[in-house]
Amino acid sequence: MKKQKLENEEIAKSLETNPNLGNTVKTEKETTQMTKDIFASEEYRSAFFEYVTKGQAMPEEFRAAATSVTTDNAAVIPTTVLNEVVRKLENYGDILPRVRRTQFAAGVAVPTSATNFKATWQNEDAAGESQKMATGNVVFAAYQLRCQSAVSFQMDVRSLAAFEAALIGKIADAMGVALEEAIISGSGTARPTGILSATPAAKVDATACDYATLVKAAKAVPSAYKKDFVFIMNEGTALNFATMTDKNGQPIINAGIVQTPEYRFLGHDVVLTDALPDFDAATTGNTVAVLFDLSKYMLNTSYDVDLVEYRDNATRAKVYDSIALVDGKVIDANGLVFVNKK
């Protein structure tokens, strides 16, 4: 087998050097090198590090590779860094790990089932009645999610690992915060459409953060959606519920004065977010809590993250500007319940 492989390579080389023949024939070794991800190489990562931290121009072969990906940027974030950003985003906070993640191309209509089938009892010889499945679709756009981070003029980055860790952390944190906020309260204009923009199955009025409010809200969730819903609210609202007491004045949630309260109400997790107002600060009619199965929210993301670098003359800081394409929508609001302050 090895001998045959060597013979094949020799034949390919002889064909390549023959001036009487047409197109070049590439050997297996050359093909492998061409398909290798240049942005994942140690050489590219080091060159990218020197470019960002010291302003040294990227080597010619790397500039050519970057131009083939995007014509108006000087460098592309290395693949290893990008993969780590994606990994961190997938596990960021309490909301992103729970939503449904997809990577459809922008403009694709994703079908969603709008009808659940029902089984019915009937007599032995009775004719069955067929049921049509009504289907709708969700179309995702591609909204730009931009992250800008800066390295101060005085900063001394001592190693490639430290630089990449800092870059990963800044990009993932900035994009994670923006994504979680958009999932809850996005307007749908130049950003994803948030849960608050969907039409809920029910609305519950709340005059206080008490046990009766929790039970009333949970009752409003349809039976088919009760298993997997979570309470979504501001931590201030959750702390108000944590002060509930029994008829003897003893706290129902007893975590002790030195422990962090375990936010879990009626057997369901509590997801904290600053995208909803604190109950005390909310005005009448504001949604202060949401009961929802977050897997019914679809976040469609294209991680084509690039990098533009420029100098802020006022602060002498280098600013790094990264962009990703994202959209998201509620795909099933039948189990969605809003709790509004009354």
Name the band, by pLDDT with cuts 50, 70 and 90, for residue 195.
Answer: very high
Q: pLDDT at residue 196 above 50?
A: yes
Does 236 or 131 have the greater pLDDT score?
236
Does 223 or 253 have the greater pLDDT score?
223
162 φ, ψ to 5°?
Answer: -65, -40
* pTM above threshold 0.85: no
d(CA 169, CA 89): 10
What confidence score (pLDDT) does residue 31 get? 40
d(CA 269, CA 169): 27
What confidence score (pLDDT) does residue 24 get? 45
Specify the residue for token string 């390549």: 16
Does 150 or 270 have the greater pLDDT score?
270
Query: Residue 42 contacts by C-beta under 8 Å, 6 or more apart in sequence?
Result: none
134 burial level (CB within 10 Å; 0-12, 13-18, 19+):
exposed
Contact 45, 160 (CB under 8 A): yes
Instruction: Give 145's Cβ-side CA count (13 Å radius).
Output: 30
77 burial level (CB within 10 Å; 0-12, 13-18, 19+):
buried
Name the band, by pLDDT with cuts 50, 70 and 90, for residue 228.
Answer: very high
Percent pLDDT > 90 in the chain is 34
